[in-house]
Structure 1
Amino acid sequence: MSGILEGKNILITGVLMESSIAFHAAKVAQEQGANVILTAFPRPTLTERIARKLPKPAKVIELDVTNQEHLDRLEGLVRDELGSLDGVVHSIGFAPQDALGGNFLNTPFESVATAMHVSAFSLKSLTMACRPLMTNGGGSVVGLTFDAQFAWPQYDWMGPAKAALEATSRYLGRDLGPENIRCNLISAGPLASMAAKSIPGFTDLASVWDTRSPMKWDMGDPEPAGKGIVALLSDFFPMTTGEIIHVDGGVHMMGA
């Protein structure tokens, strides 16, 4: 029986560790029949080492989404490897330390600008870099958010950055819909990834799930989020764009 991504070519960013959601998206995508190519920054060698744990080999391309030269060369590198793309996974986010951990009122604009550029604007940059490759009937762009309708403890300027990411996804869905390119997001619950550990006081934020999640939430299991990404990459959501799918154990729906 063939998988739901059989024969599809997928570019995945953000594979840093085996605990990364992006790693599990790549793993499930390969298991479902996809050809996967990875991008990495700032340490492609680290991603190459982690990629060896995937079911199949995956080429790694260095890509700094804030570097226009890297973005300009991406099309050619991917075309040489895969020929075209059917899907793109945006799993990129960063904020300087002074933009996190309870410093919201004192964060300088330079740090806010960095958070917005890397975490939100890069969805547009990456999508536009990959757009010429998605000519075989369109494609699916999937990003990762952390529910931006709430003000989370310690999350500070990553909150507005995620809100900007969510809005950017909707506008991309609007403007690329005529080309049959869909853009959706997975809103995952807290996971013990390297990105999460960089947020001061992250355990305080994550503790919300211990009391509010109707389903038992496992911070050590990124696979449900990875499966959600793969589902949105597949042809099973052909008319869904600008959407945010929650993979958070149900916390988003709870009133008290």
Structure 2
Amino acid sequence: MGLLEGKKLLITGVLTDSSIAFHTARLAQEEGAEVVLTSFGRQFKLTETFARRLPREAPVVQLDVTDDADLANLADAVRQHVDSIDGVVHSIGFAPQSVMGGNFLKGEWADVATALEVSAFSLKSLSVAALPLMTNGGAIVGLTFDGQFAWPVYDWMGVAKAAFESTARYLARDLGPHGVRINLVSAGPIRTTAAKSIPGFSQMEDGWPNRAPLGWDQTTAEPAARGVAALLSDWFPATTGEIVHVDGGVHIMGV
């Protein structure tokens, strides 16, 4: 019996087969789960393409987390494929390049607001939209990049991640009575499409393997995806509001 046998999961952010979201969807299916993906706009066809590369092709439903209509229609769209869900994966983040790459002091509010809405507030938006589908409780798992530090070049996305982590704690408080757990995986740097879009990202990732007590392979999302799958399972029934570091141990190192 698989770790996620019989689970029905809603997974966002599958845009390439190198992403944490894609590997989570693959692992989930291999461990017995039924998966529904989300996408929108020009990305929709990309998600459909990679949905066909999973062990079993997954349906894709429309969801722009900044669109009130999409959020309101999410439950009905998902019910066309499954009657309920047991888990949600939030793998969504975006910031204009004007507020990253050494532009912290130059950041304008309009661009910062975009980063905060898409990368932090969307966790609340998605959770509330998915809640009617979680009739038996379940787990929401998000992806972060340790928001307690001021990283090189991450700038306002780092601020958004700190807000994202705080949002998760408040959601854990308010969703607990509904039987819903919410936890985050803080992964080390992985050479995903999102990472490549950050100007100067190599400044963060280059020294990571040497600093990590367990070492670190930036070319694979497998360890992070396994962490997400574990948190989606029933093996953490009393854990919520937690951040699980899947970074080779870098978070414990002082230098």
Q: Normalised by the size of structure 1, how large is the TM-score?
A: 0.98
Match of 1:46 in 2: 46
Match of 1:63 in 2: 63
Q: Does 1:125 align with 2:125?
A: yes
Aligned-pair identity in percent equals 62
Q: Name structure 1 gaps, 5 residues minimum.
A: none
Map 1:26-41 → 2, pairs under 5 A? 26-41=25-40
Q: 2:15, 2:46 within 8 Å by CA — same for their partners in 1? A: yes
CA distance in 2, matches of 1:62, 1:176: 24
Question: Partner letter of residue 216 of structure 2?
Answer: W
Name the SS for the 1:157 alignment partner: helix
Question: Partner letter of residue 11 of structure 2?
Answer: I
- Show structure 1 runs of 4+ deviating over 3 A: none
Name the SS for the 2:174 alignment partner: helix
Match of 2:199 in 1: 200
CA distance in 1, matches of 2:40, 2:235: 31
Name the SS for the 1:249 alignment partner: coil
CA distance in 2, matches of 1:158, 1:245: 20
Q: 2:11, 2:38 within 8 Å by CA — same for their partners in 1? A: yes
CA distance in 1, matches of 2:222, 2:82: 25
Q: Normalised by the size of structure 2, how large is the TM-score?
A: 0.98
Indicate the RMSD between aligned Cα atoms, in angstroms.
Answer: 0.7
Match of 1:107 in 2: 107
Q: Does 1:151 align with 2:153?
A: no
CA distance in 1, matches of 2:253, 2:40: 37
Question: Partner letter of residue 58 of structure 2?
Answer: A
TM-fit CA distance, 1:210 = 3.1
Q: Name structure 2 gaps, 5 residues minimum.
A: none
Match of 2:245 in 1: 246
Q: 2:140, 2:232 within 8 Å by CA — same for their partners in 1? A: yes
Name the SS for the 1:110 alignment partner: helix
Match of 1:91 in 2: 91
Match of 1:234 in 2: 233
CA distance in 1, matches of 2:85, 2:213: 37
Match of 1:191 in 2: 190
CA distance in 1, matches of 2:202, 2:68: 36
